[in-house]
Amino acid sequence: MKIVLNGESRDVRAETLSELLKECGFSGRVATAVNEDFVPSSLRIAHKLAEGDRIEVVAPMQGG
């Protein structure tokens, strides 16, 4: 399935958001949004991905 992960097109096997995080090697503290909507970590297992979904995975970063 083709998706867009953090702005880059990817071809992935994952069918859910939690599988995607595992497949792409994310671990630790991250937050997720799909198609500009926040998806809490508790809902990632149940969140099915669809062709063309835009997924954002963010983590702590320096800020002012």
Q: Is 17 exposed, middle or buried (0-12, 13-18, 19+ CB in 10 A)?
A: buried
Residue with smaller CB distance to another protein, 6 or 22: 6
Residue 29 in contact with another protein, rule: CB under 8 A: yes
Residue 9 in contact with another protein, rule: CB under 8 A: no
Mark the segment that binds another protein (CB under 8 A) among 12-20, 35-43, 45-53.
35-43
Do the Cβ atoms of 18 and 44 come closer than 8 Å?
yes
Measured torsion, CA atoms of residues 50, 26, 38, 54, in degrees rounded to the nearest 10: -40
Which residues contribute to the site for another protein (CB under 8 A)? 6-7, 24-33, 36-38, 40-41, 56-64
